[in-house]
Structure 1
């Protein structure tokens, strides 16, 4: 073999090694295994959907509670126009919360 062919083979070998490392980083084998096992794929998607939904619900509840607290503080400042509007919103929210006891 001449020198140019050896360099080409060495370069090709380096590229193949780099490709293998990148495939391991992507976890391609695990992904292909997941695609070949549809029940596991369904289970993983189901549990991730439940986790997302629960996270959204908890996050929205926390943000809503914080918003109500901020609105209560704004009402206590007695701002003329904003205070009345915010007081109505807080009253509506409190009425809803008190009427729905489970």
Structure 2
């Protein structure tokens, strides 16, 4: 009787473990590790995607900062306004050259 209960518990634990291993996609992960070309290709694509995302993010952030700086210039704050106006002029000159 004790052996039957122990066998059922052990069988249940093995089933749970096999389900967890399937969820991890361990076989696919090991297949990628065995194929260096595919691993390099996947890492290359991931790097390109991260780089592109970073570039787009910084572009939007820079545009937002310039927009805010232009609005501060409109407020005509005494010292800060002149400094920011000069920065905006420099950026606009650089953008018009290219």
Q: TM-score, length-normalised on structure 1?
A: 0.87
Q: Point out where structure 1 has 5 or more consecutive residues left out of the alignment.
A: none
Counterpart of 1:16 (choices 8, 14, 17) is 14
Match in the other structure for 1:95 = 93
Cα distance in 2 for residues equivalent to 1:59 and 1:92: 22
The 3-state SS of whatever aligns with 1:78 is coil
Q: Point out where structure 2 has 5 or more consecutive residues left out of the alignment.
A: none
Q: TM-score, length-normalised on structure 2?
A: 0.90
Cα distance in 1 for residues equivalent to 2:2 and 2:44: 54
Number of positions where the alignment pairs a residue of Structure 1 with one of Structure 2: 98
Match in the other structure for 1:40 = 38
List structure 1 segments (4+ residues) > 3 angstroms apart after TM superposition: none
